[in-house]
A and B are shown apart, each in its own frame.
Chain A
């Protein structure tokens, strides 16, 4: 059972990583609008010549 002395800290480290990622996502506004990003995949990319260079 001594393996848990390694696995639990490892698990906690992963939780910490997940929390960090979640905090980043919240701070970045990823949860502010849950609707329109879903639509953006349907929109075509603009033709290249119209992009400002």
Chain B
């Protein structure tokens, strides 16, 4: 019911424009909307009798993208495009959609209703938790394009998912796990109930007929639980043995298999003890632990999935002076593509003609659209916001930046960290020793008291199952990686978290890291000429230059200049009006303007004409917003900050003073930086290097752990352990805190599980632990470890909910 406040647009909640006044009548009241697209969407919803949406929604709607002249969806009606995308169910077709902008249950209801009312749609089901919709429709009566148009008209962006949707795989896996859990759970209730009767009967006496009957019923219930719910353990153990490796499934399978066999044998021969209750409880609790682990894994996986969906399915290929819609998969590097406004770039490329702005927020976190003129690189998945442009493709498919990011994410999720591999090896070592120990225990008990030999051996096998030990690290890392990914920070090497937690020195690069890397005019000292006139002349001269400092003058309206001559390393000479000017270093200007007057400092950029010094410009590099807070927070976390920069001393010193960093070094070549890192490390420091990912790659590699503030193309090549997708420093303290919590939780988990095993093993070997108690202890320790790790997956409280259109964040959080 949280309708957006009156200050914003009734439909999308964005600020209202001051000049225009657009209203729409809903429920008898005039509501203000921000744009024609929102008005159309609101009217559409009202006309369709779906006004309830506004009453029940919990988040504002996405702002509809105004429909362009070109209907992007029409191409989906062509058989070669939709052929591979549709599933078949008799005469009906099935399509899976990922719907961007779907934020709450009311959105899901709205889309479901809208699609369901199209003639020819058999069924439309929308799942807001995963932002997926499945539509069953009759292709003879309604086209795929009509479905997509209907969704797009409401302001959401539909993406057609291919035939292989990993979510479907995940859903199948979750459903199978739920069924196993149910079988084990129901079986456990029955067997435990009967076990209670048997325990009481063992104390108070019981009619042997009834006792045997109850035991037979337990056998009957346990058998299907073992076969159906216990199958993953047996399959896992078999696979491990085939690979000549002792995994943690081996002792589990051995334990439950032996306990069941012995109980069944005792039931059939009408004597001895039965452990059916232990078997079913063991299976149930173990399955529960694995179910929770699976949910954490799925949550992490959906981020990469969401990113991949950014690439559109079709593109406008230019052939001669005509263009045709083709599936993106058929595009090749070197081809030319026209990208209309409002569409996503289908592949990486360079703008050939036209100029526009690209929204790369989903890829880089840059919240403002980035201007793209001729020659600028654009990346697949970014949204073309402003005007149609023609691009020449440089990379398609798997070689795009986007695919690189997704690979980074996937690598981080599949690669096992060193500590996890260690724990695994320890577990395997432990299991093989336990098996030997179990044989020893059995032999000793057979000598001492043959009647209790089986029970004690069983307890040893069950109680020492190293599940908790093996789960301790991966669950914690998975949970932490998912949390950081939601905050826009990719962990590309799982060991990184461990190193990050221990870092005590943080080495910043200045340009592009602490500062924005964009030159900015800081101070103008104009002499003789007015400030504005001096600036206009300077801008005119600098227009012809590709020097980075020239960017500082980009925003200034330039006077027309002629006869521009570039003197590399010195400056530019040119004519504005009838006067010849020089801009550049003091020495360069002095050659035209004569000796430097006292009021002009040597540093900075100077402007002069024949015999006159006109102005001096100080050009600085603006600090990133929030950089000072980040430095303070890091200091509070115990990390000593220092700056190593290639920039000149004055600029670095000013930045260091502004940020309150005491240690800084300027004018460092890449080799000097490398030496500095090595010197710091040799002195015992654990160095976290923060850079922009590309030009300081050696420094990043040499540090204990590195973070790249990547944006755009830099990301794909980043060799850093951590990559801040949004290019924001602000995530750094969060990363350090999360890393520390992760290592703390891993340590707790390892201590707990190792301590538990060390205590339980002798007790079980001595016959003090009945098998059922062993099962409880073992399962409880595994569950504790998993739940402890899941504490990391909770949203950090400090961050407010992100109101932006961050699909990746949304999908990851929703799953």
Binding site for B on A (CB under 8 A): 1, 4-5, 8, 11-12, 15, 18-19, 22-23, 26-27, 29, 31-36, 38-40, 42-44, 46-47, 50, 52
Contacts and interface: CB of A to CB of B under 8 A. Distances in A.
Nearest to B120: A52
Contact of B109 (A31, A40, A47): A40
B49 A50 contact: yes
A22 B49 contact: no
Main secondary structure of the interface of A (DSSP, over half): helix
Given A15-B186, A44-B52, A4 B109 contact: no
Contacts of B183: 19
Interface string B184-207: 001001100010000000000001
Main secondary structure of the interface of B (DSSP, over half): helix
B49 A5 contact: no
A46 B56 contact: no
Nearest to A11: B190
Nearest to A1: B210
Given A1-B207, A4-B213, A50-B49, A23 B127 contact: no
Q: Range of interface residues on chain B?
A: 35 or more
A19 B189 CA distance: 13
B117 interface: yes
A36 B186 CA distance: 28
Given A35-B128, A39-B106, A52-B117, A26 B175 contact: yes
Nearest to A47: B49
B77 to A, nearest CB: 22
Interface of B: 48-50, 52, 55-56, 105-106, 108-109, 113, 117, 119, 125-130, 171, 174-175, 178-179, 182-183, 186, 189-190, 194, 207, 210, 213-214, 217, 220-221
B172 to A, nearest CB: 10
B108 A36 contact: yes
Nearest to A50: B49
Contacts of A42: 52, 55-56
A52 to B, nearest CB: 6
Given A8-B217, A19-B183, A31 B49 contact: no
A47 B182 CA distance: 41
A26 B126 contact: no
A19 B221 contact: no
B6 to A, nearest CB: 23
Nearest to B116: A52
Given A11-B190, A43-B52, A44-B52, A36 B179 contact: no
Contacts of A31: 175, 178
Contacts of B128: 33, 35-36
Nearest to B177: A26
A32 to B, nearest CB: 6
A36 B56 contact: no
B182 A22 contact: yes
A15 B188 CA distance: 11
Contact of A12 (B56, B127, B130, B190): B190
Contacts of B182: 19, 22-23, 26
B90 to A, nearest CB: 19
Contacts of B52: 42-44
A47 B48 CA distance: 10
Contacts of A46: 49-50, 113
19 contacts: A8-B217, A12-B217, A18-B186, A22-B179, A23-B182, A26-B178, A31-B175, A32-B171, A33-B130, A36-B109, A36-B126, A36-B127, A39-B56, A39-B109, A43-B56, A46-B49, A50-B48, A50-B49, A52-B119
Contacts of A29: 125
Nearest to B193: A11
B433 to A, nearest CB: 40
Nearest to A37: B105
Q: Considering residues A8, A12, A23, A52, which has the most beta carbons from chain B within 10 angstroms of its beta carbon?
A: A8
